[in-house]
Amino acid sequence: MPQLFQYYVEGETDAVLLRALKTDMQCIVPGKIKVFNAVEEEFTRARLMTLKHKTNVVLLFDTDTLNASILKKNMKFLSNQSMIGHVYCLPQVNNLEDELIRTCNISKIRELLSSKTDTDFKTDFCKCTTIKQALERHDFSID
């Protein structure tokens, strides 16, 4: 039986990146991706009702506004649910933009998509249909 994965990401830009890593680049395990901020919001049983038995949950979150108490509560809650296989936490270095700067050969986030400003980056990223090419052009490394 193949392992099932459910990714919970903080925002739409995180979801866009994970879709590219999953589908276009095939460098992460396939699974469903949902926007849910596990650092600021608490999980409920109702949110997990659609998960299949032994689904592995991956929490992707920023560390620049880390509220450890809610995150710890969520990790404990998820670990105690019978439908959850394992819980994996993937903290980002500060935030998505800093993580992309760290993993690509760029010094400012606007360089990735030739955005006019750093502020424009998220909008440009969510609209971009060539994420894989942009990452490869800037020597993206998942390691």
pTM greater than the 0.75 cutoff: yes
pLDDT at 130: 96
Indicate the pLDDT class of residue 66, thresholds 50, 70 and 90: low
DSSP string, the chain: ----EEEEESSHHHHHHHHIIIIIS--S---EEEE--TTTS---HHHHTTPPTTEEEEEEEESTT--HHHHHHHHHHHHT-TTEEEEEEEEESSSHHHHHHHHTT-SSTHHHHT-SSTTTHHHHHHH-S-HHHHHHHTT----
Please say whether the beta carbons of 18 and 7 come within 8 A.
yes
pLDDT at 102: 94
The mean pLDDT of the chain is 94
- Which domains are delineated in the chain? 5-106 (3.40.1010)
Show the CA angle centred on residue 123, arms to residues 121 and 126, nearest 5°.
105
The mean pLDDT of 36-55, rounded to a whole number, is 95
Please say whether the beta carbons of 65 and 39 come within 8 A.
yes
Indicate the pLDDT class of residue 126, thresholds 50, 70 and 90: very high
Whether the predicted pLDDT of 11 surpasses 80: yes
pLDDT at 142: 85
Indicate the pLDDT class of residue 29, thresholds 50, 70 and 90: very high
Please say whether the beta carbons of 29 and 3 come within 8 A.
yes
Whether the predicted pLDDT of 122 surpasses 70: yes
pLDDT at 112: 98
